[in-house]
Amino acid sequence: MTLTALFLDAGPLTLNGTFIVEVIGFLLMLAFLNYVPLGFVGIPKPVFKWIVDVAEARQREITSELEAAKKEREDADARLKEAEAKLAEARVTAQTVVNAASKSAEQLRTEIKEKAEEEAKRIGESARKEIEAERERALQSVRNEVARLVVSATEKVIGETLDLTKHKKLIERAIAEVGSGDGSR
């Protein structure tokens, strides 16, 4: 096969008069769309320039929206960091309050414990004093009773009443014997 035959018989495209007319019509249509505005269809300028202008406007709009979205994202990140900082500060403040409350509670507990211990000591001391006073009263009562019994027994044995001096000496000796616990002379 020859080159011309191969070129003329290229498959679905065959180089003949129809093909040439179609190529010329296509080129005229491209020239028409490139230079003639189509106002009756709502396109105020030539089609190619209009398509390029619409595409560029859309590109500018998308770029503007992307920049706005980026700025909003940065603002949101800044607000998030600010909120996290405030949250951290609030946590520190809360921990400070908790620590202060714990310290205050510990001090209060210590004060209450000290007051309770002081009160227990005071009550113990008061009870000890009362016991000592009661013991002294009991001892005095026993001494008086012993003295009365000694005087009474002596009067019965001797058969006479003792004068005040003899009486005191006798009582003191009897008390000393009872106090020492031996009861002997």
Each residue's pLDDT tens digit, 64-101: 999 999 999 999 999 999 999 999 999 999 999 999 99
Q: Residue 104 falls within a domain, yes or no?
A: yes
What's the pLDDT tens digit per position in 115-157? Answer: 999 999 999 999 999 999 998 888 888 878 877 777 777 777 7
* CA-CA-CA-CA torsion sign (139, 140, 142, 147): positive
Looking at residue 73, what is its pLDDT? 95
Q: Are residue 174 and residue 109 in the same domain, yes or no?
A: yes
Domain ranges, residue 156: 36-180
Q: Are residue 150 and residue 59 in the same domain, yes or no?
A: yes
Q: How far apart are CA 25 and CA 34, in angstroms?
A: 14
Looking at residue 144, what is its pLDDT? 80
Give the E-state strand segments of the chain in sequence order: 37-38, 43-46
Q: Are residue 154 and residue 113 in the same domain, yes or no?
A: yes
Q: Are residue 69 and residue 114 in the same domain, yes or no?
A: yes
Q: Pick from 65, 69, 68, 37: which is nearest to 50 by CA? A: 37
Q: Are residue 41 and residue 55 in the same domain, yes or no?
A: yes
* Cβ(171)–Cβ(147) below 8 Å: yes
Q: Are residue 13 and residue 74 in the same domain, yes or no?
A: no
Looking at residue 185, what is its pLDDT? 47
Q: How far apart are CA 57 and CA 70, in angstroms?
A: 20
Which residue reads 């002294």 in tokens?
Answer: 136
Domains contained in the chain, number: 2
- Higher per-residue confidence, 79 vs 160: 79
Q: Are residue 2 and residue 89 in the same domain, yes or no?
A: no
3-state DSSP helix/strand/coil percent for the chain, to nearest 5?
A: 85, 5, 10
Q: Are residue 103 and residue 172 in the same domain, yes or no?
A: yes
Q: Residue 185 falls within a domain, yes or no?
A: no
Q: Residue 160 falls within a domain, yes or no?
A: yes
